[in-house]
Amino acid sequence: MTIFAININMSGFNKTFTLPFESEIPSYTEEFLRNASLLKFKLKYFRRKIYLTYKRQEPLEIHNILPKHQRILWINLSAPSLGDSLMDLSSRILLQNKQVELYTNDKNASLYHNDKIFSAVFTKKEELLNCKYDLIIVDSFSTRSMNVKYQIAPRTNYVGMFGFFNGPEVNRVLFSFNRMNQLLGQIHNETELNDIAKCTITISKSDKSIIDDLDLPSLYLAISLGGEWQHRTYQNWQNIITRIVELSIDIAIVLVGSKNAEVKAREITKMYSSDNIINCVNKYSFNQTAEIINRAKVFLCCDGGLMHSANAVNTPIIVMLARLSAKMQLTSPISAEVLFDKKDVNNIMAEDFIISYKKFAKFDSIDT
């Protein structure tokens, strides 16, 4: 019987809440340290440290992506939603001169099947058992992600994106870009990095063709309904749409969203002329919906995956945020008008939204 002696040094626990790079980015670190149960995070750090030690992975961690690292696998399993995935993987554009493949979950994989950077996307470990890589990028040192790394490439060097960082909320796009820039040897200065830090998405020709067949109006705005979290799911879109229609009676409005928005979409379409309101809720894939948003003059939304898709396709947004402020969710390249409430987007008045709309949504052929 083999006995492993594991000596865990808890002095590294500060990696849980300390950024792994020197650049300052928006974060809620102070709030985290003030309010979080540190015991919970210490136990998580302890479990991760034990796993890395037990599987003999600690010596394989390196801290630079070098020119010799040409074929790379990026393991991304920690992003809980489509929007988080777009943010966490946004810095892949800095790897354009590499052959990069992605391992992720089934839900998020659909975003990247025609990606300009990821040459292949996998969701099953069995597909990778015979693949050879120069380097593995691991999203975090969670046991789930590191277990996949261990099973696929037990002796291959790896770098961590979040690593042990696990506590405070951060601007995930800026985190991704700053961490990748650090791993690549600071190839961009801070100004250059901020100018390019945004989500990206590749929309295939077939997805564009499907939206072509919709024959959407040449000029329209898109509105995202529904949401996964109550505090960022706006319930008063009817009042906003009524005011928009009053301001511009001929404006076309395209409704988008997932299954949780179907009831709200039906309620809204019953209120207005079918010529004014086009219901596309839960009828198209995420990437196809991103193409609908891409063709819109402006996108009205709350915080969510479709907001990040709008940022990825460079459509201006009027967005309602709650709890996480604009500095935590947006970056410099994004054209946005923001309304913010500390607790719930439903505390934002429809009339305040319309004031922002009138200021921001300047349609060439519509007098607002």
**pLDDT attached to residue 80:** 87
CATH of the domain at 33: 3.40.50
Same domain for 74 and 184, yes or no, is: yes
Clarify whether residues 134 and 75 are in a common domain: yes
**Domain C-terminal end among 168, 196, 224:** 196
Length of the chain: 368
pLDDT at position 367 is 42
Domain boundary residue, one of 147, 176, 196: 196
Q: Which of 196, 229, 244 is the endpoint of a domain? A: 196
| Residue-wise pLDDT tens digits, 208-248 | 999 999 999 999 999 999 999 999 999 999 999 999 988 88
d(CA 18, CA 151): 29
Residue at 255 is within a domain:
yes
CA distances from 292 to 1, 214, 302 (A): 61, 9, 17
The C-alpha angle with vertex 341 and arms to 326 and 351, in degrees rounded to 5, equals 105
143 and 186 part of one domain:
yes
Alpha-carbon distances, residue 149 vs 104, 110, 266, 281 (angstroms): 12, 21, 45, 37
Q: pTM of the prediction? A: 0.93
Say if residue 36 is in the same domain as residue 179.
yes
Whether residue 365 lies inside any domain: the answer is no
Q: What's the pLDDT tens digit per position in 111-155?
A: 999 999 999 999 999 999 889 999 999 999 999 999 999 999 999
Q: How far apart are CA 91 and CA 196, in angstroms?
A: 9
Residues 232 and 142 grouped into a single domain: no
Quick one: tokens of 311? 């940022």
Rg of the chain's alpha carbons, rounded to an integer? Answer: 22
62 plus 173 within the same structural domain: yes
The 3-state DSSP composition of the chain as helix, strand, coil percent (nearest 5) reads 40, 15, 40
- Alpha carbon distance 264, 344 (integer Å): 19
Q: Which residues contact 300 (CB under 8 A, 6 or more apart)?
A: 221, 222, 223, 224, 240, 317, 318, 319, 353, 357
pLDDT along the chain (368 residues), means of 10: 48 89 94 87 93 96 98 95 97 97 96 96 94 97 96 97 94 98 97 97 97 95 95 96 87 95 94 85 98 97 97 97 96 96 97 93 50
Residue range(s) defining the domain that contains residue 155: 10-196
pLDDT at 11: 64
- Coil, strand or helix at 366: coil
- What is the pLDDT at residue 251? 86
Distance of CA 147 to the CA centre of its chain: 24
